[in-house]
Amino acid sequence: MARESLADKLITKLHPKSPVSEAFRSLRTSLHFVSPNFEYRSLLVTSPGPSEGKSTVISNLAVSLAQTGKSVLVIDADLRKPSQHKVFGIVNSAGLTNVLVGERDFESLFQDAGVENLKVLTSGPIPPNPAELLDTPMMRALIKEATEKFDFVLVDSPPVLPITDAAVLASQVDGILLIVKSGQTRINLAKEAKDMLENARGKIVGVILNQIRYDGDDYRYYYYYGHGRDRKQDAKPTVSA
């Protein structure tokens, strides 16, 4: 099952020459140009609603960053429906929640992701009070310490609109990537999510349009800056920023 999950989700690892992997490399490059005077090292990745691809985006972006030689940590802060352990095919018997309640040191819970330079801190057991657990000095200290040890820290969170967890985390990171799904996310909901994150003192550094499908021989991608074109190599959805 783990291998099937990897094959389905981690396209940047298993199909590095695919158009989808190229789209993630473009996203990786674009992040370096968001601000010439500031490096966004901790990023929250979220979406307005469920099933918009945020967990897939964060895992593939993490792999793409790690492939450049940068050290990367993925923190699964979705304490309601965690998925990073499934994407990377690792266990989730202990993780973030154990750190936040003071049971374990967070460095002892890093797991290898099967990609050089990439570690994962899974969610751990699902708590009864996720938002309260995330809105603590311990969580802020954890992200701060993680950014001192890794070049990039990517935080996976629940969707913005149904619950408050993402808004709680918004001010704890350098920036936010908001994932919207082509043909599914309603514009008014995307705007509402943006407003909620900014009202929570979060800084949105980019919006990623996920799962664009084009018929015919060409895939097209639109990035933060300009646009590009590549030939279709498979039938997997594209990711663009």
Residue 190: its pLDDT value, please?
Answer: 86
Q: How far apart are CA 21 and CA 1, in angstroms?
A: 23
Total of domains in the chain = 1
Token pair recorded at residue 163: 């619950």
Residue 11: its pLDDT value, please?
Answer: 78
- Give every CB contact of residue 146 below 8 A, 6+ residues apart in sequence: 42, 73, 75, 106, 153
| Residue 113 near residue 87, CB atoms below 8 Å | no
| Residue 137 near residue 171, CB atoms below 8 Å | no
| Residue 236 near residue 20, CB atoms below 8 Å | yes
Residue 53: its pLDDT value, please?
Answer: 80
Containing structural domain, residue 31 = 2-240
The CATH number linked to 110 is 3.40.50.300
**Positions of the chain with pLDDT lower than 70, given as ranges:** 1-8, 34-37, 183-184, 211-241
| DSSP E strands, 89-201 | 111-112, 118-121, 152-156, 175-181
0.85 surpassed by pTM: no
